[in-house]
Structure 1
Amino acid sequence: MKIIEHQANGINYYTLVNNHHMSVTVMDWGATVTAIKTHDKDGNYANVVLGFDEGEDYITYQSFFGATIARVAGVIKNAKWRNYELTQNAGENHLNGGNMPQIAFEPWFLERKLQTSEQVGLVMQYITLDGENGYPGTMTITADFILDNNGKFTISYTGKSDKETLFNPTNHTYFNLSGNAESLINHDILKINADEYAALNKHNIPTGKLPWVTDSPFDFREPTEIGPQIAKIKGGLRHGFVLNKTPYPQVELFDRVSGRKVTLRTNAPAIVVSSATNYRDDRYRLNGGKPMRSQLGLSLQPQVLPDAIHHREFGSIIIEPNVPITYQTAYQFSNIYDV
């Protein structure tokens, strides 16, 4: 178990490596996961998440590959909460915590490194001041990234504010388990333990309705090939799913060719799944010079459903003064062909 550090153009990178050569790289700008390397069925290691080749491109293009999203992930309709006017950065709406500043593209402070015989990790911190992006309260956000010797990578986000405020963080990593950023995710197999999903209007804002997934392209309760389902959904997947309470992993994703598999276990009540459909930008250079293409990655974002403040049934994202709240997600990596 070790931590490898390097710096480039003012950005600090920390690579967590376990004894089986699996590694996770996190940079301090945006507390961003830039790479996760795992083995395929033949023992070859490759990066299974999408990320820019140059660290400064995360800041230049402000795309959320691997970033920590806070204070609040997703949309807040009309950018209002009670009497607070939040930053409008998506038309009249508020998106991913606003952009004055955008926490996903700001430098985080490395509070400490963790290293034992069984795990290595980082603790990063960001302080967002009272009134930034319209939110009340000065909030300290702590991000823990821990890799263990069994292929489990855990992300924990803790928020503590001196005033009542909103907190609904997530991580915005796009997975491509093939390890080849020219291969689309259409043939990947996805399972989500969820009976309900959040319906969206034509502007991709939650309507407040939570239809059952039965007899719909949103039914992933059994392992299902992604591509045919996405083809039935206008604009592709960008929907939230209400996770069932279960002692088992709530989400599974695997690539049949490479054998790579990731399962998720989270204490968040929902997950937003995005297939990056119609998301293309030839300016981007990802994973060794590859351009961003539609359905090149699948993001799995544990959180409370977006726009929860306008839909009581979605759950609360209000946190009380000086009462820390933690959301934790464990990503277990394995290979289905391992004996």
Structure 2
Amino acid sequence: MKYLGIMTLVIMVFGCAQKDATVGISSEDFAFDYDGKTIELFTLKNDNGLVCQLTNFGARVVSLYAPDKNGELGDVIVGYGSGKDFVEKKENFYGAVIGRYGNRIGNASFSIDGVEYPLEKNDGDNHLHGGTNGFHHQVWDVESASDSEVVFSLVSPDMETGYPGTVNVKVKYQLTDANELKIEYFATTDKKTVLNLTNHSYFNLKDGGRTSINDHLMYLNADYYTPVDGGLIPTGELASVAGTPFDFTTPTAIGDRVEADDVQLKVGNGYDHNWVLNTNNDAAVLAAKVVDPESGRVLEVYTNEPGVQFYGGNFLDGTIAGKNDIKYDFRGAFCLETQHFPDSPNKADFPDVFVNPGDEYHSVCIYKFDVEK
């Protein structure tokens, strides 16, 4: 099945009636010129007090303030607090739109109709997240902006970072009074190409990254995952999670088995794998759920994508300071990136990621917040 230009990210927050105009990062901290364009910060608010901040650098989610079990707002997004920091500090893809291809492509190449397309090798011998100048590291144009909605757009020229076809992408963020943050992706191409867009937000539901996420409880609606080789490229196998540390079909603390004597955990330095969802590409079916017992915050994930990459923050090392000078330590945040499988262009048995002229790329992700008291 082909997923043809809209990605919808919906975040619903319950039990929050606060209105605090001081919540969030100052827009003055984001005014920064890069590559001939100006990086800006946009703040969306609704009548219930929910606040989300975005930047056109990488079309990123910068912050999202959600209530805990006491109704206190807290930022659940890990990342930087200024435009300059995003440009100059270590790139961890914080909150960014990833393209043209989210995740890894083995040997940094793929073929279309017998023509090989070499890509940048920016992850050992492999290609990661569209390359060093992927969508995450570009200043997007701002088509429109209001208190409830921002629309970003980008034109990726033919052969940019090695990918064929001129691709037009539009990303629409909308914050509604139903406490929904909707992200819609629209994309078309003038030449057959591959696309696998995702959002790379890092979450810590407890305290925004001050402490580990290992005590968060996680459920993944997946009976299989895709094992990887030493370069984190899928072997092509769909392996059962039963009896392994990859079984999250019942809620389990993220840190309970992360140090188990398992070859896949050793290869990934923890969890950094793609799970094969049981949802049958139905965005109405729960794909994942994470609960922080201390704050009571709950994150649910829904998607029409066939997979989700769970990354447990294994490359955070406490050396770089983020927002509020927080140094994000090892496993201080997690990502749940809805996606087609890594290296799909080179795996004929994996779901198809090829997009043709006349197609409209479409993907749906829903991040839904709640509170357990």
TM above 0.5: yes
The structure whose RCO (Cα within 8 Å, separation 6+) is larger is: 2
What are the superposed Cα offsets for residues 274-302 of structure 1, whole Å, 9 maximum, x if unpaired? Answer: 001252141x2223111121010000101
- Matched residue of 1:14: which SS? strand
In the other structure, the counterpart of 2:325 is: 289
- Counterpart check, 1:62 vs 2:91: yes
Q: Is the 8 A contact 1:135 1:165 kept in 2?
A: yes
In the other structure, the counterpart of 2:272 is: 238
In the other structure, the counterpart of 1:86 is: 119
- Counterpart check, 1:259 vs 2:300: no
Number of equivalent positions: 330
Q: Is the 8 A contact 1:217 1:229 kept in 2?
A: yes
Unpaired runs of at least 5, structure 1: none
The 5 A counterparts of 1:49-128 are: 49-60=77-88, 61-82=90-111, 83-99=116-132, 101-113=133-145, 120-128=148-156
Q: Is the 8 A contact 1:153 1:332 kept in 2?
A: no
1:321 to 354, 357, 366: 357
Give distance in 1, aligned partners of 2:39 and 2:315. 30
RMSD, aligned α-carbons: 1.9
What are the superposed Cα offsets for residues 113-139 of structure 1, whole Å, 9 maximum, x if unpaired? Answer: 366xxxx32221111000111111100
The 5 A counterparts of 1:1-339 are: 6-7=27-28, 8-9=31-32, 10-60=38-88, 61-82=90-111, 83-99=116-132, 101-113=133-145, 120-232=148-260, 233-234=265-266, 235-245=269-279, 247-282=284-319, 284-337=320-373
Which one has a larger percent strand, Structure 1 or Structure 2?
Answer: 1
Give distance in 1, aligned partners of 2:207 and 2:178. 20
Structure 1, 178-187 or 268-277: larger mean CA deviation: 178-187
Q: Is the 8 A contact 1:206 1:307 kept in 2?
A: yes
What are the superposed Cα offsets for residues 65-91 of structure 1, whole Å, 9 maximum, x if unpaired? Answer: 111100001111111111211222222
Give distance in 1, aligned partners of 2:278 and 2:139. 35
Counterpart residue type for residue 41 of structure 2: Y
Pair 332,114 (structure 1): closer, same or farther in 2 beyond 3 Å: farther
Give distance in 2, aligned partners of 1:95 and 1:281. 22
TM-score normalized with structure 2 length: 0.84
Q: Which segments of structure 1 move beyond 6 Å, counting only runs of 4 or more?
A: none
Unpaired runs of at least 5, structure 2: 1-18, 33-37
Counterpart residue type for residue 271 of structure 1: V
Counterpart residue type for residue 138 of structure 2: E
Residue 57 of structure 1: CA displacement? 1.5
Counterpart residue type for residue 85 of structure 1: P
TM-score normalized with structure 1 length: 0.92
